[in-house]
Amino acid sequence: GGLGLGLALGLWRRQAAFAVARDDEEEKELRQRFMAPPVSGLRELRRRRRELRSRMELLIMETQAEMCRALADLDPGASFAIDSWERKEGGGGISCVLQDGEVFEKAGVNVSVVSGLLSEEAARQMRSRGKSLKAKDGKLPFCAMGVSSVIHPKNPHVPTMHFNYRYFEIEEADGTKQWWFGGGTDLTPTYLNEEDAIHFHKTLKEACDKHDLKLYPKYKKWCDDYFYIKHRGERRGIGGIFFDDMNSPSKEEVFQFVKSCAKAVVPCYIPIVKKHCHDSFTPEEKLWQQLRRGRYVEFNLLYDRGTKFGLLTPGSRIESILMSLPLTARWEYMHNPPESSKEAEILEVLRNPKDWVH
C-alpha cells in the first residue's frame, strides 16, 4: 500500500511540475505574441479561458499585435510608442502609436478593456438606438472591450484605413445581462484606384460569406450609410463593412464571425500599402490629401459613435480616443476640384457609393 501511495504521489508531483512548466511556457509564448501584457492579466485570462470575455480579449490583443507587426515591417525606420494605461473606474488599455515614419504619418492600434458604471449620457445614447436598459438605483454596470485602429499614410496614393471590433455587456436591475458585438473595417482613399477597391471589398466579403451570404451586402450598405457626412452630402470613404448591436444567432456564432472579420484586416489592407507606398506624387496631390483628411476629422468629431461614447465615459483616455485624428489636415475656403479631374472622380464615388464585388 505504501509503495502504491508513494508511486501515486510521485506521479502527481511530476504531473504538477509538468503543468507548471507548461503554464510558464504558455505565458512566455503569450507575452511574445502581444505588444504588452493584457489588461486583465495573463493568469486571469488563462483561468477564465473558456469564457467569451477572455477569448474576446485574447482576440483583440492578437489583432493589435498582427496589425502593428505588419505596419512595422513596412516602415522599419519608425517604431511604435507602446503605452499601457489604467482607468481608475475599472480596466485600462494599450495604445500603440507610430508617428512621422517614412510610410505612415500616423498609425495607431488601440486596445481597451474597461468596466464600471455606464454614465447617464452613454445610457441615453444607447436607449436612443432602441435598447431598453433597466437601471438599478440609476446604475448600470457594464464591461466593454475592443480593438480600434486608424492608419494615415504619408503618400496620397495609399488610402487611410480604419477598423474596430468590440464587445459590450450590460447588467440590468434584475441581474440579466445584455450583450452585443459591433465593428467594421473601411477604406478612405485620397484618389480612386478601382483594383484596390475591389481587392479590399472582396477580402471582406469572403470573411462574411464564411458565415452567411446575406451579411456582406447588409453590412456594406450599413457602412455606406453610417460613414456619411450629412452637411457635405458625401461618404467619408469608399466603405467596407459596419455593424452594431449584433446579438444573434448565438454568442459563439457572432464571436466566430467577428474573429473572421478581424483576421481579414491585414490581408485586405497591407497589400494595397505595399503596392503604392513608393509611388511618386506631386505637391497638388499632397494638398488634396490634406483637404480629404479635413473631411475625415469632420466626420469623427461630429458623427462617430465610438468617439462620442468615449468622450461621454468617465475616466476615458482622451489621447487614445482622438488617436484617430491625422497628424496634419487642411480646410480651404470654397475649394472645388476641376470637372473630370482625378479629384472629382473620387468625389463622385463618395456621393454615389458603388458595388465593388459584382
SS3 of 214, please?
A: coil
Q: What are phi and psi of 88, to 5 degrees?
A: -65, -25
pLDDT in tens, 234-270: 999 999 999 999 999 999 999 999 999 999 999 999 9
88 within 8 A of 315, measured Cβ to Cβ = yes
Q: State residue 53's pLDDT score.
A: 92
More confident residue, 49 or 216: 216
Q: State residue 9's pLDDT score.
A: 76
Instruction: Report the C-alpha gap between 296 and 291 in whole angstroms.
Output: 9
Query: By percentage, how much of the chain surpasses pLDDT 70?
Result: 91
255 within 8 A of 235, measured Cβ to Cβ = no
Q: What are phi and psi of 104, to 5 degrees?
A: -110, 125
127: confidence class by pLDDT, cuts 50, 70, 90: low
The DSSP call for residue 324 is G
Q: Which residues are catalytic?
A: 162
pLDDT of 134 above 90: no
Q: State residue 23's pLDDT score.
A: 62
The matching CATH number, chosen from 3.50.50.60, 3.40.1500.10, 1.10.1740.10, 3.30.2320.50, for 33-351 is: 3.40.1500.10
- Residue pointed to by grid coordinates 497589400: 271
- Residue pointed to by grid coordinates 450599413: 222
pLDDT of 101 above 90: yes
More confident residue, 320 or 138: 320
267: how many CB neighbours lie within 10 A of its CB?
15
pLDDT of 79 above 80: yes
89: confidence class by pLDDT, cuts 50, 70, 90: confident
pLDDT (average), residues 177-199: 96
Which ranges of the chain does DSSP label H, i.e. alpha helix? 2-33, 42-47, 52-74, 120-127, 194-209, 215-226, 251-263, 265-276, 283-302, 305-312, 318-321, 342-351
11: confidence class by pLDDT, cuts 50, 70, 90: confident
Q: State residue 27's pLDDT score.
A: 65
pLDDT of 19 above 60: no
Which grid cell is 4? Answer: 502504491
126: confidence class by pLDDT, cuts 50, 70, 90: confident
More confident residue, 122 or 2: 122
pLDDT (average), residues 204-232: 97
Which grid cell is 352? Answer: 454615389
Give residues with Cβ within 8 angstroms of 260, minimum separation 6.
Answer: 207, 208, 210, 211
131 within 8 A of 177, measured Cβ to Cβ = no
94: confidence class by pLDDT, cuts 50, 70, 90: very high
- Residue pointed to by grid coordinates 444567432: 249
